[in-house]
Each structure stands twice: as C-alpha cells, then as structure tokens.
Structure 1
Amino acid sequence: MKTKILLVEDDPDFGMILKQYLELEEFDVTWFQNPEEAVSLLSSDFTFQIGILDIMMPNMDGFSLAKIILKEKPSFPLLFLTAKNQKIDRLTGLKIGADDYISKPCDPEELVLRIRNILKRSIPATLETHINIGSYTLDSEKLLLSHPNGNVRLTVREKDLLLYLLKHNNQTIKRDDILDNLWEANDYFSGRSLDVFISRLRKYFSDDSQIKIQSLRGIGFEIDFPVK
C-alpha cells in the first residue's frame, strides 16, 4: 500500500512539480493549494501518514495549519517547506512539533530522503510498549506519557528521542551520537532542534525530581531515569 502524503502548497507550479515527483516515487499525494481545505479533512477520513506544509501561504500560514492538525492528530509527522532561509522560521516550526524542514527551492531527491527518514522513525520501537519511568508511564505505541498530575501526548520525534535516552540510561550520551542517529545531520539547526526537544522532555518530567537529563557542555548529556 502506498504511503499517503498530505501536501499543502499554494504555489501552483511548485506544488504540481512536487506532486508529480512524489507520485513517481510511489507516494499517494493529495495536494491542496488552500490550507482551509486541508483543515476540513480533519472531521472526515484523515488517513495520511505524513504532511508537507508550506509556511508562507495566504489566509493561513503553515504554522497555524500545523497547530490545528496537531491538536487533532498529536502524533502526525510534519515537514515544513520554507522559502525564507531564516532560523526563526525553522525554530518556530520545531517548537510547534515539526519533524523536519527543507528550504525552497528544494532538491526533490533530498525531500524524498527526508520523508523516508521521518516515516522510518515513525515506526513503533521494539522496546516494551509500556515503560515505567519514576512516577511516569510511557506508552510508546500510543505516544502517551502519563503522570498522576496529567498526561502528555508526545510527538513521534519526542518519543524517539526519549526511547534513545532510555536505551542509554545511566550513561553519558554524546550530542553528536544523538544527532547522527536520530536527526541524521549534524549542523547548527539540527543542534538547535535537539536543544528544543531536550527542553521539552525536561519540562514533561518536571514532576519527578529523580529523573535527570543533565547537559554536559561540549560533550552531550548525562541521563538518569529510574526505570522500574
């Protein structure tokens, strides 16, 4: 069965090129030029595996569309297309919950590679489905982190990062190793992305003082998860 992609791009020429190329790569692509049409799908049959959203669109930008989608589909993988090579766009997208970004005009082969990497990371890990971490419980299949004070629905990348840290519990983890294994890139923006996701995990686990994700300057992180 072909992977179903939601493509939202208001530029008719660029959108058509992307759609045709992705279909040649055996993806099933539904393309909207109007982001509001994509929103209308949330109340019907939303069966996509990944979304590709342009940031700069009239009426509704990609960030606003992403927030609406993620509110209904918290674990839905997203990749942003940006025409502006500015870090504020990229960091904003990462904070919202995007899994990746690519600048326009983009190399179609690179786009396909990024899509496949995201989809590969989205496959549930082979670890136990339920993991007790201090006073928290992680359901890795449902992307749910539960605690008596409240639950958090994780994004796919948050889950993948957490599982990676759990696999290296009570160890010093090199920053470069995380970037190479999960981001498959080791540049400035990937590093900032990692910082954003580490900050989120610290916030999620803030109700248990036993859980420690300590930064080691110039090295990486020291992890202490009281796993039961």
Structure 2
Amino acid sequence: MFCIHLVDDEKNLNEILSMYLQKEGWEVRSFLNGETALQAIQDHPHLWILDIMLPDIDGYHLLRRIKEESPRVPVIFISARDEVLDRIMGLELGSDDYLPKPFSPRELVIRARRVLERVYQQNESKSFHLHPYVLDESKRLIKKEQELLELTSKEFDLALLFAKNQGQALSREQIIAHIWGADYVGTDRAVDDLVRRLRKKLPELRIETLYGFGYRMVFQ
C-alpha cells in the first residue's frame, strides 16, 4: 500500500482530496500547515502532495527539507498561483508535477497514480514505435531519433492514448474521460485544442479528424 502525505491549509479541500486518495486504497496522512508536516518527514511516505501557500512556512522550504531527507521521494506541487515562476522553481527544487488550483480531485488522483507508477514501477519500460517517434510509457519520454521532444503532461497522455489505440476511432467523450477524468466540467473544444497542439509538436503523426465524432490515429 502506498502512503501519501498531503499538505494543504484549506480544511475542506484537504478533507475532500484525502477522501479521493483514500478511495484508491492509499494510506493518507494530511496536514494543515508546514510545521506539523516537517515533523513527519522522517516517516518517509511514498509521495508528498504540497500546497505552496501555507500559513507558516511555504511549500518551497518544505520541499527542500523533504529532498534533504529523502532525495528520491516524488512530490506534487499544488497552488492557487498558476505562474510560470512557481512551476520553474518547483521543478528546479525537485518536484515531479505541478497542478494549479482549482482542479478536479480526480485529476489529482490520476496524476498521483502516474507519478507512483513511474517512480515505483518494477516492470521494464514499455515503448511504442510511432515512426519516426518512439514513446516510452514508463519514463514518459518521446524521442525522434536521438532528440528528446517536449510535451506537456496532457499532450503526452493523448499521444499515449493514440499509441495504445492505433486505428481505433476515439470519441471526444472517450478522450475527455481518459485525459481529464470523469469529473471534467467544460466543453469538448479542449480536445480539439489538445489535438491541435499535439499535431503541431509531432507533425508526422497521422491523426485523422472524424467530423462530428472524434479522432483516430492510423497505423504508422
């Protein structure tokens, strides 16, 4: 069983997120401030989920202390400030993911699961060859020859979804459920925008538009 430490000073949100994480069968210990979380660093959980804005110490200081004690433990940052500087600082300090508020609790569960699988998965990496690209599922990398290509988390998830379903028609509803989760609230235009961005970054993928339905990636 995975053990997760959740740090967020919003009591209601903390309780909701804890409930969603526990439903996955994970052991969750929650904290409402940084000082109490500091005392639990030596518990060595499998994953930390940290709010940047805390009432006493900020998440950056807490992240530094966590990495000093357990350099390999993964960390997901959450924050009401969706700023580029926050993302960059978090990554530079060793965070594995960044989720701006507001977000769906289900999205956090999905991201947590992916981080846990990536860090603790014992199986060999599975690769998909989408000529001229090679997609590594476990490492969440995509290459063209020896060049590493940069994709956002959702762009990678979409490429992986297409890779696992080559030749199959995927409706916009299916894509939304897989990428954003069943709790997604919004229009299916988000799918079209995500596909557009993926086509721009990976122009040699053969993604067909199925008008009035969705998309399909044909065999490479």
Q: Is the pair's TM-score, using the shorter chain for normalization, greater than 0.5?
A: yes
Cα distance change of structure 1 residues 220 and 23 upon mapping to structure 2, 3 Å threshold: closer
Say whether the 8 Å CA contact 2:134–2:144 is kept in structure 1: yes
> Counterparts in 2 of 1:147-166, with a 5 A limit?
147-148=144-145, 150-166=147-163
* Partner deviation per Cα, 1:46-75 (whole Å, 9 max, x = no partner): 6235332222xxxxx55431233346768x
Say whether the 8 Å CA contact 1:175–1:221 is kept in structure 2: yes
Which of 16, 20, 37 is 2:61 aligned to?
Answer: 37
* Partner deviation per Cα, 1:98-120 (whole Å, 9 max, x = no partner): xxx24xxxxxxxx3x44323334
Partner of residue 81, structure 1:
101
Cα distance change of structure 1 residues 151 and 54 upon mapping to structure 2, 3 Å threshold: same
Equivalent-residue separation in structure 2 for 1:172 and 1:66 (angstroms): 35
Which of 67, 79, 85 is 1:64 aligned to?
Answer: 85
> Counterparts in 2 of 1:15-26, with a 5 A limit?
16=11, 18-19=13-14, 25=22, 26=27
Partner of residue 27, structure 1:
28
Partner of residue 167, structure 1:
164
Alignment size in residue pairs? 184
Q: Which runs of 5+ in 2 are unaligned?
A: 31-36, 38-49
Equivalent-residue separation in structure 2 for 1:148 and 1:114 (angstroms): 32
Cα distance change of structure 1 residues 48 and 167 upon mapping to structure 2, 3 Å threshold: closer
Q: Does structure 1 residue 47 correspond to structure 2 residue 73?
A: yes
Amino acid at match of 1:144: L
Cα distance change of structure 1 residues 193 and 117 upon mapping to structure 2, 3 Å threshold: same
Sequence identity percentage: 20
Q: What is the CA-CA distance between 1:145 and the residue it aligns to?
A: 0.6
Instruction: State TM-score, norm by structure 1.
Output: 0.60
Amino acid at match of 1:3: I
Q: What is the CA-CA distance between 1:212 and the residue it aligns to?
A: 1.4
Q: Which runs of 5+ in 1 are unaligned?
A: 56-60, 83-100, 103-110
Equivalent-residue separation in structure 1 for 2:130 and 2:72 (angstroms): 33
Mean Cα deviation higher: 171-180 or 65-74 = 65-74
Q: Does structure 1 residue 3 correspond to structure 2 residue 4?
A: yes
Cα distance change of structure 1 residues 62 and 190 upon mapping to structure 2, 3 Å threshold: farther
Q: Does structure 1 residue 216 correspond to structure 2 residue 210?
A: yes
Say whether the 8 Å CA contact 2:5–2:28 is kept in structure 1: yes
Instruction: State TM-score, norm by structure 2.
Output: 0.62
Mean Cα deviation higher: 40-49 or 147-156 = 40-49
Say whether the 8 Å CA contact 2:171–2:214 is kept in structure 1: yes
SS of equivalent to 1:52: strand
SS of equivalent to 1:201: helix
SS of equivalent to 1:189: coil
Amino acid at match of 1:217: Y
Amino acid at match of 1:118: R
Say whether the 8 Å CA contact 1:39–1:68 is kept in structure 2: no
Say whether the 8 Å CA contact 1:53–1:62 is kept in structure 2: no
Q: What is the CA-CA distance between 1:40 and the residue it aligns to?
A: 4.3
Equivalent-residue separation in structure 2 for 1:187 and 1:217 (angstroms): 22
Cα distance change of structure 1 residues 38 and 194 upon mapping to structure 2, 3 Å threshold: farther
CA RMSD after TM alignment: 3.8
